[in-house]
Amino acid sequence: MKLSLTLAFLAVLHALVVLAAWVAPYHYAEQHRDYPFAPPARVHFTDAAHRFLLRPFVYGLTQDSPGGDYREDRSRLYPIDFFVRGRLFGVGAPGVLFLWGSDGYGRDVFSRVLYGGQVSLLTGLVAAFLSLSLGLLCGTLAGFHGGWVDGLLMRGGELFLALPWLYLLLGVRAFLPLHISPAQAFFLLVAIIGTVGWVRPARMVRGVVLSARERGFVLAARGFGASPGYLMRRHILPLTWSVLLTQATVLIPRYILAEVTLSFLGLGVGEPVPSWGNMLAEARQYHTLMAHAWMLAPGLATIPLLLGYLTLADILLERPSSADPAPPIERPSGALPLGSREG
Partner 1 sequence: MKYAARRLLHSLFLLAGVSLLSFLFADLAPGDFFSEMRLDPGVTSATVDALRARHGLDRPLPVRYAAWLGSMARGEFGYSLAYNTAVGPLLRQRIPGTLLLTGCATLLAWLMAIPLGIWNAARRGTWSDSITKASLSIFLSIPDILLAVILLALAVETGWLPAGGMHAPGSESLAAEDRFRDTLRHLVIPVAVLVLGMLPVLVRHVRASVAECLDSPFALAARAHGIPRRRLLFRHILPAALNPLITLFGFSLGTLLSASLLVEVLVGWPGLGPLFLEAIMARDFALVLGVVMSSTTLLIAGNLIADLLLYRADPRIQTS
CB of 187 to partner 1, least distance (A): 15
CB of 292 to partner 1, least distance (A): 11
CA dist 123 to 196, 258, 260, Å? 14, 9, 10
Q: Which three-class secondary structure state does DSSP give residue 44? A: strand
* Choice between 32 and 200, CB closer to partner 1: 200
* Choice between 266 and 325, CB closer to partner 1: 266
CA dist 227 to 54, 136, 237, 265, Å? 69, 20, 14, 51
Q: How many CA atoms lie within 13 A of 235 on its CB side?
A: 21
CB of 159 to partner 1, least distance (A): 5
CB of 265 to partner 1, least distance (A): 6
Q: Give the pairing type, strands 87-91 and 52-63.
A: unpaired
CA dist 76 to 21, 79, 131, 222, 290, Å? 28, 10, 54, 79, 29
Q: How far apart are CA 184 and CA 163, in angstroms?
A: 26
Applying CB under 8 A, the residues found at the interface with partner 1 are 155, 158-159, 161-168, 170-178, 253, 257, 260-261, 264-267, 280, 283-284, 286, 289-290, 296, 299-300, 302-304, 306-307, 310-311, 314
Phi, psi (deg, nearest 5) at residue 99: -60, -40
* Choice between 175 and 224, CB closer to partner 1: 175
Q: Which three-class secondary structure state does DSSP give residue 323? A: coil
CB of 329 to partner 1, least distance (A): 25
Say how far residue 6 (Cα) sits from the centre of its chain: 16
* Choice between 245 and 296, CB closer to partner 1: 296
Q: How far apart are CA 214 and CA 331, in angstroms?
A: 8
* Choice between 22 and 167, CB closer to partner 1: 167
* Choice between 137 and 306, CB closer to partner 1: 306
CA dist 246 to 175, 321, 323, Å? 32, 10, 12
CB of 321 to partner 1, least distance (A): 16
CB of 289 to partner 1, least distance (A): 5
Amino acid at site 195: T
Closest CA to 96 of 43, 148, 21: 43
* Choice between 165 and 217, CB closer to partner 1: 165
